[in-house]
Amino acid sequence: MTEASGRTGGLLTKAARLLGRAVREPLVQFLAAGLVIFGVNDLIHGPDRGPPGESITVSQGQVQQIAQSYRLLAGRLPSKAELDALVDDFVTEEVDYREAVAMGLDANDTIVRRRMRQKLEFLLEDADASSEPTEADLKAWLDAHASQYRLPERRAFRQILASGDKRGEAAPSAAADMLKQLRAGADPSRLGDPSMLPAAMPLTTEQGVEALFGDAFAHDLFAHEGDGWFGPVASPFGDHLVMQTSREPGRSASVADVHDRLRNDWIEDRRNQRRIAFQSKLRKRYQVRIDWPEPYASQSAAPDATPAGTTLGTAAGPVESVAPLSPGGGLPEE
Amino acid sequence: MSRRKFIVRPGLASVAVAALMLAACSAKPGDDAKTADQAANPPAAPADARPQPNPLKNAYFGDLHLHTRNSFDAYIFNVRASPDDAYTYAKGGTIKHAMGFDLHMDTGPLDFLAVTDHSEYLGVLQSINTPGTEFSKVPYAKDLFSSDTAQVNKAFRRFADSIGEGKRMAEFSDMAVTRSAWQDEVESAQRNNEPGKFTSFIAYEFTSAPEGRNLHRNVIFSGDKAPDMPFSELDSQNPEDLWRWMDQRRAEGIEALAIPHNSNGSDGTMFMRTMWDGKPIDKAYADLRIRNEPLVEVTQVKGQSETTPLLSPNDEFAGFEVMDWYIGTAKKITKFQGGYVRDALKTGLEIQDKIGVNPYKMGMVGASDSHNAAGPYEENNYFSKIGVMDGEPDRRGSVPPPNYKSWDDYKVPDGISRFSSWGSAGLTGVWAEENTRASLYSAMRRKETFATTGPRIRVRFFAGYGLKGTELTSDAGVKAAYAGGVPMGGDLVGKATGSPDFLVMAMRDTHSAPLQRVQIVKGWTDASGKAFEKVYDVACSDGGKVDPKTQRCPDNGASVDLSTCAFSQDKGDAELAGAWTDPDFDPKQNAFYYARVLENPTCRWSTWDAIRAHVEPSPHLEKTIQERAYTSPIWFIPTKAG
């Protein structure tokens, strides 16, 4: 259990980040479409943008890059004529790009915006990717988050079953009777009904006991203090008499116990910290004003609202599917 | 929940972005190799925490078939969960579904997992969706990630067609992306392997489906050695080439086995009597095949492949989660022979009678094949299989769409009927000494495995001469059964006289329903070389006795309340044991025997969906099912007369 919850913290941030990255869907497409039509019209018929003068230089390096890209796709370098066409296309792309940016098309295109954010975040992650925690980092991280890495309590026990299959409603009283015999010194190996359940379990976590004996039995076992046989303890198999043979209290983990988890969580956290710091630094350059429409304007902030800029991804709002594919559309494989 | 928009003044941001790009670019080189060394060898758990191996073996449960965002189709289904996320879920953690909700197993962590992403275009879709990559420049990149479904379908069709034809698209001839994604898979498996506690297998899926007929296989590697690249169906659609490639890797010290799945969607082509070239199966083929394919996936989300009522008309429990569609297409299967495991086991005996080798001597495993990086193993915690496509009840046909009040006017489209025909995920049970790669893999090699349809039913199965009176309820009894007989997956060599004893014992999953009956399924060939099958009940719940005429248990009367899904508490048994001898035993006949354990009826996932949505369960779907476990067979090998 401790293991699971320890992981969950890092995971949620991760999931939130993924969602934040993936889910930015259009509300403005209608608006953008109008703008494009207006802009293109302006470009074709509209006022001249002023005297020519903006220069475009395609450097040797860029030409090389174009040639190499072609080689990756085609498996060979382009001929001079092919390269000429490719470079010309590059120039056209550059011109179109500059015009489009000048028209502000990039600002209102959700896909462009999303991709730019994605790109920024990838760059940030890459920039940070080389950092490896030292042993001291891991120790410090463990000390600061000891409860997340606590190793759960384990108990070893023996059990004797009065089978519900065999005895039905008489199982509890049969178990109670066996308990009397045990306390009078009877040999435990001669008592109880045959079962696939192990007569003795080695040191096992509560979760491990649940997997075999069920949740209620595991709970009762771990709630019990004291030596000797006790019971009956009920399970879907019937009623058990139980004796704990060994207990290992939960303890704080050492670095060696959980080295890999520490490393992964440390890296994850560092990335998050960097991102948050970067975002809030960027955010300082802007004055953000939000004109809430009705009915939101008159509503008070939701209790779970987090101040923007402090935790990434929480401002994503309702989850949308990026591409709401129609089921039955016949997408193959699976 | 409100949607927030920020009004920002552009200008300064672009400066900041440019500055950051420069800073970041300078830090970039070499990042691909960043974690390889650190990840390769996680320290083993401290010795005192690692349980002692059990020579009498424990049952471990896991999934040998699961996809993540690295699979080209999962990525299109909006799945963004990584192999690491898949392990987090399998180890009991919580991850996100593509539609934003939490995924978590209520019944505890798995013991092992193989992430089996499609080797074809592995990692490629993510690369297309990553700005600045070469692949992002393909002209249909924007369509693939458009909000217009028709555009997505049209663009994605290219991938489907390419895989259908087994030809790699020229624009993806650079394999660097796939190589890097494969590294990601391998490193993630290495990172997540915790000997004694949790086992990960390096694995992938070979996705051959000539003309849409499913010949998919999962390839599971035994240890920490992996090939540089997986062998994909873009290299060859012919599974024989895959097996030859596996033989070559084996010679280099890289051991693996392949597990065919969804033979139910193969339209009769998975277990044929002929080879790829159309000639009858010969000894070399049979040897090659069985050397590489000792196991078969008999149940998963896309239905069970044990048998169907058409092939097994005398098996009244055969009509369970039958999926009679092609894979990935709303097209009906027309040929069932050659598509189901029981039939293949029989065909195997027939071929063995002729050529001396049985190419279909396969043990049983179960899996999810989920593309969500998380398997839906529980009926009451079901989220189906392919991300946004079937992530909500009305998308999988268990609840009518919002604009329909009832089922009366709603004609379910074929595409959705296909999803409705799917069942909750299966699991593989493995009897092994300890939870390590070495121990689990060798158990898979010797076929000491069983499949379940989701619940963690434990079942032991032995056959041997003179086992009568041996009880599997004590260590001494299990030890005697191993000493005097063979476990599931084994060969029982016949003796001149006498009849073997079969011992079977099953234990319920405390998170599911009690057990109703245990059956033994027998297949055999007669003197003419023709194969037959018969199902025998061998243990009945609630004190019932098998009727020797019908070979069936009496009905135990277990029922389900369809308004709440509550099931009878006083019917069924927590454990069932059977000691059996074959009343029709003939020591001269080749035969196989496997055990099938049935639970009492419980609600199907679709009924749970409907109850939660406060609508009637679909009239087109079964309301309840009987979850079950299938053991690997034991093969009876007659001693040659004279």
Same domain, B361 and B508: no
CA end-to-end span of chain B, whole Å? 82
> For B29-84, how does the pLDDT look when each residue is reduced to its tens digit (9 = 90+)?
333 333 333 333 444 444 456 788 999 999 999 999 999 999 999 999 999 999 99
Chain A residues touching B511 at Cβ < 8 A: 214
Can you give the pLDDT at residue A122? 66
Whole-angstrom CA distances from B184 to B69, B190, B396, B641 are 12, 10, 32, 56
Can you give the pLDDT at residue B14? 36
Print burial letters for B374-413: b (CB count within 10 Å at least 16), e (below 16): bbbbbbbbbbbbbbbbbbbbbbbbbbbeeeeeebeebebe
Percent share of chain B, pLDDT over 90: 87
Task: Determine whether the interchain pair A334/B130 forms a contact, defined as Cβ–Cβ distance below 8 Å.
Answer: no
Task: Determine whether the interchain pair B88/A199 forms a contact, defined as Cβ–Cβ distance below 8 Å.
Answer: no
Task: Please state the domain extents for chain A.
Answer: 152-248
Structural domains of chain B, count: 2
Task: Determine whether the interchain pair A15/B95 forms a contact, defined as Cβ–Cβ distance below 8 Å.
Answer: yes
* pLDDT above 60 (res A1): no
From B432, B449, B478, the end of a domain falls on B432
Which stretch of A226-230, B35-39, B253-257, B620-624 has the lowest confidence by average pLDDT? B35-39
A319 → chain B, closest CA residue: B100
A318 → chain B, closest CA residue: B1
Task: Determine whether the interchain pair B386/A334 forms a contact, defined as Cβ–Cβ distance below 8 Å.
Answer: yes
From the options 3.40.50.300, 3.60.110.10, 3.10.50.40, 3.40.50.800, give the CATH code of A152-248.
3.10.50.40
Identify the band that residue A120 occupies on the pLDDT scale cut at 50, 70 and 90. confident
Please give, rounded to a whole number of angstroms, the shortest distance from the CA of B95 to a CA of chain A. Answer: 7
Task: Determine whether the interchain pair B20/A120 forms a contact, defined as Cβ–Cβ distance below 8 Å.
Answer: yes
Q: Is there a domain that residue B89 lies in?
A: yes
Residue in A125, A196, A304 to test binding to B, most B beta-carbons within 10 Å: A196
B161 → chain A, closest CA residue: A332
Please give, rounded to a whole number of angstroms, the shortest distance from the CA of B508 to a CA of chain A. Answer: 9
Q: How far apart are CA B311 and CA B532, in angstroms?
A: 11
Interface A–B counts its CB contacts (< 8 A) at: 262
Task: Determine whether the interchain pair A327/B92 forms a contact, defined as Cβ–Cβ distance below 8 Å.
Answer: no
Chain A residues touching B473 at Cβ < 8 A: 194-196
Percent share of chain A, pLDDT over 70: 68
Same domain, B420 and B505: no
DSSP B638: P
A73 → chain B, closest CA residue: B171
Nearest to B94 among A8, A26, A215 (CB): A8
Q: What is the mean pLDDT of chain A?
A: 75
Q: How far apart are CA A127 and CA A60, in angstroms?
A: 27
Task: Determine whether the interchain pair B2/A236 forms a contact, defined as Cβ–Cβ distance below 8 Å.
Answer: no
> How high is the ipTM of this complex?
0.86
- Coil, helix or strand at residue B389: helix
Average pLDDT of the segment spanning B160-169? 94
Task: Determine whether the interchain pair B575/A195 forms a contact, defined as Cβ–Cβ distance below 8 Å.
Answer: yes
Q: Residue A192, Cα to own-chain centre: how many angstroms?
A: 47
Same domain, B197 and B81: yes
Can you give the pLDDT at residue A52? 54
Please give, rounded to a whole number of angstroms, the shortest distance from the CA of B531 to a CA of chain A. Answer: 34
Q: Is there a domain that residue B5 lies in?
A: no
Percent share of chain B, pLDDT over 70: 92
> For B397-438, how does the pLDDT look when each residue is reduced to its tens digit (9 = 90+)?
999 998 887 899 899 998 899 999 999 999 999 999 999 999
Chain B residues touching A221 at Cβ < 8 A: none
Same domain, B401 and B486: no
Q: Is there a domain that residue B246 lies in?
A: yes
User: Token pair of B360, please?
Assistant: 């279909």
Q: Is there a domain that residue B414 lies in?
A: yes
Nearest to B88 among A7, A23, A327 (CB): A7
B371 → chain A, closest CA residue: A334
Same domain, B423 and B473: no
Same domain, B327 and B464: no
Q: How far apart are CA B54 and CA A38, in angstroms?
A: 76
Average pLDDT of the segment spanning A126-145? 83
Task: Determine whether the interchain pair A323/B207 forms a contact, defined as Cβ–Cβ distance below 8 Å.
Answer: no
Q: Is there a domain that residue B214 lies in?
A: yes
Which stretch of A93-107, A319-333, B397-411 has the lowest confidence by average pLDDT? A319-333
Can you give the pLDDT at residue A28? 33
Locate the DSSP E strands across A122-206: 154-163, 200-205
User: Token pair of A314, please?
Assistant: 């929480």
Q: How far apart are CA A142 and CA B556, in angstroms?
A: 55
Please give, rounded to a whole number of angstroms, the shortest distance from the CA of A324 to a CA of chain B. Answer: 7
Range of the domain at B76: 51-432
The better pLDDT of the pair A126, A28 is held by A126
A299 → chain B, closest CA residue: B2
Same domain, B319 and B378: yes
Instruction: State the Cα torsion A62-A63-A69-A75 to the nearest 10°.
Output: -160
* pLDDT above 60 (res B522): yes
Closest CA to B177 of B130, B235, B119, B123: B123
Same domain, B225 and B267: yes
Please give, rounded to a whole number of angstroms, the shortest distance from the CA of B586 to a CA of chain A. Answer: 31
